Structure 1
Amino acid sequence: MSLATSPATAATETRETQRWAYPALLALMALAIGISASPAPLYGLYADEWHFAPITTTVVFSAYAVAALVSVLVVGSISDRFGRRRVLLTAVATLIAGLVVFMTAGGVAALLVARVLHGFAVGAIVVAGSAALLDLRPAEGAATGKRTGVAFNIGITIAVVGTAVDAQYGPSPLVAPYAALAVLTALGLVAVILMRETHRDGRAVALHIARPRVPASIAADFSFSALGVMASWSVLGVFLSLVPGIASRAAGTDNLVFGGGVVAVMAAFAGVSQLLAVRVPAKRAAITGDFGTAAALLITVAAVDAGGRWEIVAAAAILGFFFGLAFGSSLRHLGQVVPAAHRGEVMSAFYVLAYLAMAVPTVLAGWAATTWSADSVFTPFMVAVALACLLAGGLGLRVPRLTPDAVPAH
């Protein structure tokens, strides 16, 4: 490329000569999200081996959410300043380092370190990867958002099932799953090394922390979207930390594939609902998801109480479908009403609340499970979240339509 080549021309050349970069980035992001969920079937093994209480499990899980939140707030400006590729190279290397810590872990401290490394890495990969996807296909923003959401759920499904199968039937349940994921991540690292930089606008962007702020004009829409996502993500936190063990005990099995399969089924059906939801106006789909999630949570409580394996799996599928509808459509609705000049601030506020909703209720559930038991706090927790989902849906019915559902705000 000559010195006279403009940034716009360079970006066009990158898109035309590296068509494989777009699907490769989607696969890398799916892998990263999958790795973040992969310990879910193994927490019971860690607890048995190192004799720690449920609150320890939830604190270890929440360490990821806190680190990811910090990463999301700072990585955007870093990737704008230094490029997507450098951020991705550092993040993927950090992801591998976290897997190595998992493989060599000898206690809870190592699990915390691994989860923090993965929180920083996954947050960076999601932010920089999403920006790079838009760099590569700037005219496909809505389609890219849909593909990313589906890829995330596919990543969780495959990683959790693969980890559970490898741990259950492999030679070393606390090492082999992470080794397999490390090999796949190394392939992702090679892809990033071969990838050209996608961000070449020539500006020196000032480094900053994304400031959470919500304009008064969309306060009602933001409250509706944020409450729905907070309720759904609190379910996700408990599902990834405590539910595999709760479901397995209820079904009377110690097979790791069953506990991991419950999480995987939930994630898979969340992906299905996000694919289908694009045909429905965002606000209507989000309200349906909120009310449906509330009902699905009660169905899940009944299935766990009954102890039937197929009933538990079916309940996880129903919950996943409405969870995906609530999360994906709430995000889509917010994206349609947020003013363009405030997108960074609003999305920062949105994800701050989402990650706090994943971390704080999960830790509280772990504390309650230590005081009583995980099985005894399961029902009260799910009922409380169901009430929050009903509140979110009710709020959505009261929110005036500031912009047409199908037309982005300007």
Structure 2
Amino acid sequence: MKVLVAASKGRTMIDDTASDVRLQAVPPAGGRRTRAGFWLIAAVYTLVMLGGTLPVPLYALWAPEMGFGPFTTTLVFAVYALGTVLALTVFASLSDRAGRRPLLAAAVLAAATSTALFLLADDVGTLLAARFLCGLGTGVFTATATAALGELAGAGHVRRVSTVSTAANMGGLGLGTVVAGLFAQYGADPTRLVFWVYLASLVPALLAVVVTPETVTARQLPALSLRRPAFPDRRAARTEFLRAATAVLAAFAVSGLFSSLVPSFLREQLHVHNVAAVGAEVGLLFIVALIAQVATPERWLSRRWPAPAFLVAGVAVLEAGLWTRSLPTFAAGTLLAGTGIGLAFRRGVGITQRLADPRRRADLLSTYFLFVYTGTIVPTLALGLLDQTVNQDVATLILAVAVVATALAGTVSRPSTAVT
């Protein structure tokens, strides 16, 4: 059967049963430059995500310097997620038309500008601007880099792409808090030295993006507009995608609660004042998520129940650690929740890559990551608001129940197609 497909210079007739979709116009996987480009983008992806969590252990140091309390801390954290949501709804899908490299380069430059603002920050307004711009760069890079990795690897390497992209994402998030904690505890300038080093590292990162092969050859002038979330056309594919997206929304709700809660919990309730230890505890969640993605058997990733099971168990144990003020219990909950986050995220990326239209790959990935960061921002803001009326234990319990309900919602249905 013949179908019409819109191209940049008219309309082209193609055979929808053919395995070669000509409009995709992706360089053939396997070339030396293409293979090098794959790993270069993966490395820069890790670095950009690392920058997203550098500020997390430093809130406790900024608070007395700038005179803000827990609610402002929550707001600063949430502004980052707001920036990512804006990027995903307005900018990220532009790479399907303008090309991957221009958007990746712009995201690196946004990260550099954000880092410069962190270096200059001496008030809450500058801190909010830096965090928001950091979120913009991260949102654009996340969806665009994941699409570029899929195209650089080739159509037959979905598992490889999902493993590498999720490793870059989770690995970067985990390393960011650890690195910032070490610099803050043992460096000469607790709140600035780490940003000087990070800013210097973005220079070779930008060069790496420039030398990577472009994977979108049928480029057009981008049209900037507020986009609606994209979903697969087929009903079965749309249902499968929504299940995976719901699971990752619940997973990153746990991540958002954890990242905004842990620094103050460790300092105020458990009297842990070593910033490196605080950064390591936050980073542990993401490092465990990374290990879970790499070490988990493939048969677990083809099923929907493992990720929600670990998430629910992790949330329950985390809550027990909060109420009993027990660091070992809290750490055990971190291990369980981190495993659930890793499984949900990697499975979701694999499903999204498989279901995405090659011509609009970044579009569907943008929707997927919109679920990710919505999961981060909603409970974080809710925690800040609830904390004004009820104590922290009750606030986190309310949100924990909501997270558990969301995690379980995606499992109440018949088995879906395995990730391939």
Q: TM-score, normalised by structure 1?
A: 0.85
Give the number of the structure whose residues are more often helix, by fraction. 1
* 2:61 is the counterpart of 1:48: no
The equivalent of 2:196 in structure 1 is: 179
The equivalent of 1:230 in structure 2 is: 249
Change (3 A) 1:255 1:119: same
Quick one: distance in 2 between partners of 1:200 and 1:384? 41
Is this contact kept in 2: 1:247–1:312, CA < 8 A?
A: no
1:164 to 155, 171, 181: 181
Change (3 A) 1:198 1:364: same
The equivalent of 2:335 in structure 1 is: 317
2:389 to 361, 371, 383: 371
What's the secondary structure of 2:305's corresponding residue?
Answer: helix
Alpha-carbon offset, residue 337 of structure 1 = 6.0
CA deviation digits over 1:23-68, x for unaligned, max 9?
2211110111111111111112222222323221222112121221
Is this contact kept in 1: 2:255–2:376, CA < 8 A?
A: yes
Is this contact kept in 2: 1:71–1:123, CA < 8 A?
A: yes
Which residue identity lines up with residue 236 of structure 1 in the other structure?
S
2:145 to 118, 129, 134: 129
The equivalent of 1:28 in structure 2 is: 44
Change (3 A) 1:272 1:234: same
Which residue identity lines up with residue 388 of structure 2 in the other structure?
T
CA deviation digits over 1:70-120, x for unaligned, max 9?
222333443233332222222212211101101110111111111111111
Is this contact kept in 2: 1:283–1:330, CA < 8 A?
A: no
Change (3 A) 1:278 1:182: farther
Is this contact kept in 1: 2:347–2:419, CA < 8 A?
A: no
The equivalent of 2:128 in structure 1 is: 112
Is this contact kept in 1: 2:146–2:365, CA < 8 A?
A: no
Stretches of structure 2 lacking an aligned partner (at least 5 in a row): 1-21
Aligned-residue RMSD, C-alpha: 3.0
* 2:367 is the counterpart of 1:352: no
Quick one: distance in 2 between partners of 1:158 and 1:212? 30
CA deviation digits over 1:338-377, x for unaligned, max 9?
7778866654444333322211221110122233444553
Stretches of structure 1 lacking an aligned partner (at least 5 in a row): 1-5
Change (3 A) 1:332 1:109: same
1:386 to 388, 391, 404: 404
Is this contact kept in 1: 2:322–2:393, CA < 8 A?
A: no
Q: TM-score, normalised by structure 2?
A: 0.83
The equivalent of 2:417 in structure 1 is: 404
The equivalent of 2:269 in structure 1 is: 250
Is this contact kept in 2: 1:64–1:119, CA < 8 A?
A: yes
Change (3 A) 1:379 1:70: same
The equivalent of 1:64 in structure 2 is: 80
CA deviation digits over 1:144-178, x for unaligned, max 9?
12111012222122221110011012121111121
Is this contact kept in 2: 1:281–1:406, CA < 8 A?
A: no
Is this contact kept in 2: 1:14–1:198, CA < 8 A?
A: no
Alpha-carbon offset, residue 240 of structure 1 = 1.9
Alignment size in residue pairs: 395
Which residue identity lines up with residue 405 of structure 1 in the other structure?
A
* 2:311 is the counterpart of 1:298: no
Which deviates the most, 330-339 or 314-323? 330-339
The equivalent of 1:190 in structure 2 is: 207
Which deviates the most, 268-277 or 350-359? 350-359
What's the % identity of the aligned pairs?
25
